[in-house]
Amino acid sequence: MSEEIVPPVRPPRRILMGPGPSDISPRVLAAMAAPTVGHLDPYFLKIMDELQQMLRQVFRTENRLTLAISGTGSDGMEACVFNLIEPGDKMLVCVNGVFGGRMAEVGRRAGAEVVTIEKPFGEIFTTTEVEAALKEHQPKVVGIVHAETSTGALQPLHHIAKLVHKYDALILADMVTSLGGLPVEIDEWGIDAAYSGTQKCLSCPPGLAPVTFSPRSVEVMDKRKEPVRSWYVDLSLIRNYWGGNRAYHHTAPINMNYGLHEALRNVLEEGLEARFERHQLNHKALKAGLSAIGIEYAVEEENSLPMLNAVKIPEGIDDKKVRAQLLNQFGIEIGAGLGPMAGKTWRIGLMGEASRESNVLLFLATLEQCLPKQGYELTPGASIAAANKVYAG
Ligand SMILES: *Cc1c(COP(=O)(O)O)cnc(C)c1O
């Protein structure tokens, strides 16, 4: 019996302009191909220390308990929720998109008594709305999403964190999409716990979840009456590996950590401010280009995420056909709508490495070719001219 060996992995070249993963810098991929060492090798321990230090810089925090969970963004979410919540605790989750909904579900699975406040997809919460819920429910933890990748909406957190503290609760923020692309100020805003992911604006392959915990949330974890109901994300154990006595907990994904190390070096080398400005500029150019050919955003400009552009699919245009043409003919990936926005919006990511002038111009040019195929009328070149006007200042 002869068995054929399948061919080796040879992925097509893509331009990743969806909701993540984003384009990865060759520097990060090269770092990941470096020789694997042991998870307790002094060299790797040094890499871990440097990772923690760089993560504190991008989270803008002094929090000692800052590290990368071995898992994707959702695992970061579970780590935060499971460690802060004990069965029976009240958790308030603000749901205005898929990821808020996911956090509520994780809360329920952690045994919390979850209450939610909800807003239509694309809208954000006001401090008044959050305060009313705080008053009524007196939760222990408030979960909220900073950058809702499912809708393209940005939730300001500054005032909300202060309010949450006034009611003696902890604020847990989902910063999966914002970290590295938008200002994140853990200490200044007073965020008690936050999680992120590597494959959005940090432009590292998916696989790790940066997390950070304020001294207040560490105190809450230290006073737990019962062990965390997940052994794998129990931070009282993971902490000893990242600091403390370096006790073995699980085998760290060594090469993923190399990748994140290089990705964070990239971010800090560019500088946070410069990086945020770049994300804003490319968002503005894309928006000007799309507006010039009659494509509207699904979110108000003042609440728009620069790294995730949720736009309305024009009447009569076949969502799937356009995305398939972009992918097959031009190698460009954009995202479909999620939840109630499925079939109605496209999610165009300009995250990390993918947030660049050449991607914006290429995408507009290709879209100008795809849309008229389905009878959409536009002035040829209008989107590119409008984007170029933004770049010209
Ligand atoms: C992508 C994303 C997640 C989930 O992260 P995974 O890496 O897919 O597990 C959670 N929250 C937000 C806001 C995201 O964009």
What is the rounded CA–CA span in Å between residue 152 and residue 109? Answer: 27
Give 345 Cα–ligand 1 centroid separation in angstroms: 18
pLDDT band for 166, please (50, 70, 90 cuts): very high
- Cα dist from 280 to 93, 197, 273, whole Å: 28, 20, 11
The angle, 0 to 180 degrees and rounded to 10, between the axes of the packed helices 215-222 and 235-242 is 120
How would you label 51-78 residue by residue, b for 16+ Cβ within 10 Å and e otherwise?
A: bbebbbebbbbebbbbbbbbbbbbbbbb
Ligand 1, CB within 6 Å, residue ranges: 20, 72-74, 99, 145, 147, 149, 174, 176-177, 197, 200, 206
Q: Token digits for 281?
A: 């500029």
Whether residue 352 is predicted with pLDDT greater than 70 in this model: the reply is: yes
C-beta of residue 159 within 8 angstroms of C-beta of residue 189:
no
The type of residue at 277 is E
Altogether, the residues listed in the chain come to a count of 393
Q: For residue 195, what are the β-bridge partners?
A: 174, 211
Whether residue 244 is predicted with pLDDT greater than 90 in this model: the reply is: no
Whether residue 189 is predicted with pLDDT greater than 90 in this model: the reply is: yes
Q: Which of 300, 373, 353 is nearest to 153 (CA)?
A: 300
Write down the pLDDT at residue 131.
97
Write down the pLDDT at residue 134.
98
Give 178 Cα–ligand 1 centroid separation in angstroms: 11
What is the rounded CA–CA span in Å between residue 318 and residue 255? Answer: 41
Q: Mean pLDDT of all residues in the chain?
A: 97
What is the rounded CA–CA span in Å between residue 244 and residue 250? Answer: 15
Q: Token digits for 51?
A: 């990772």
273-332 residue pLDDT tens: 999 999 999 999 999 999 999 999 999 999 999 999 999 999 999 999 999 999 999 999
Strand, helix or coil for residue 345:
strand
What is the rounded CA–CA span in Å between residue 100 and residue 48? Answer: 30
Q: In angstroms, what is the C-alpha Rg of the chain? A: 22
Q: Which domains does the chain have, with CATH numbers?
A: 26-269 (3.40.640.10), 272-392 (3.90.1150.10)
Q: Which of 349, 287, 344 is nearest to 313 (CA)?
A: 344
C-beta of residue 310 within 8 angstroms of C-beta of residue 122:
yes
With residue 65 as reference, give the H or E element that holds it.
strand 65-70
C-beta of residue 307 within 8 angstroms of C-beta of residue 177:
yes
41-62 residue pLDDT tens: 999 999 999 999 999 999 999 9
Nearest CA to ligand 1 atom 14: 176
Whether residue 385 is predicted with pLDDT greater than 70 in this model: the reply is: yes
For the chain, what percent of residues have pLDDT higher than 90?
Answer: 98
Give 73 Cα–ligand 1 centroid separation in angstroms: 5
Write down the pLDDT at residue 96.
97
Mutate to test the pocket of ligand 1, among 149, 150, 195, 203 (most ligand atoms within 8 A of CB): 149
What is the rounded CA–CA span in Å between residue 86 and residue 221? Answer: 9
Write down the pLDDT at residue 154.
98
What is the rounded CA–CA span in Å between residue 265 and residue 306? Answer: 22
Q: For residue 16, what are the β-bridge partners?
A: 333
Omega before residue 206 within 30° of 0, cis: no
Q: Token digits for 187?
A: 């200490």
What is the rounded CA–CA span in Å between residue 145 and residue 109? Answer: 19
pLDDT (average), residues 329-343: 95
Q: For residue 347, what are the β-bridge partners?
A: 310, 335
What is the rounded CA–CA span in Å between residue 196 and residue 178? Answer: 8
Task: Give the DSSP per-residue string, 122-173.
Answer: T----HHHHHHHHHHH--SEEEEESEETTTTEE---HHHHHHHHHTT-EEEE
Mutate to test the pocket of ligand 1, among 70, 81, 103, 177 (most ligand atoms within 8 A of CB): 177
Q: For residue 143, what are the β-bridge partners?
A: 93, 172
pLDDT band for 1, please (50, 70, 90 cuts): low
C-beta of residue 92 within 8 angstroms of C-beta of residue 67:
no
Give 113 Cα–ligand 1 centroid separation in angstroms: 23
HEC-encoded secondary structure of 183-204 = CCCHHHHCCCEEECCCCCCCCC
C-beta of residue 371 within 8 angstroms of C-beta of residue 378:
yes
110-146 residue pLDDT tens: 999 999 999 999 999 999 999 999 999 999 999 999 9
Whether residue 218 is predicted with pLDDT greater than 90 in this model: the reply is: yes
How would you class 13 by CB atoms within 10 Å of its CB: exposed for 0-12, middle for 13-18, buried for 19 or more? exposed
Write down the pLDDT at residue 123.
96
Give 149 Cα–ligand 1 centroid separation in angstroms: 8
pLDDT (average), residues 92-120: 98
From the centroid of its chain, how far is CA 313?
Answer: 23
Strand, helix or coil for residue 325:
helix
By DSSP bridging, strand 141-145 and strand 170-174 are parallel
pLDDT (average), residues 160-185: 98
Alpha-helical regions (H) of the chain: 26-32, 42-59, 73-84, 98-109, 127-137, 158-166, 186-189, 215-222, 235-242, 254-270, 272-292, 319-330, 357-370, 382-391
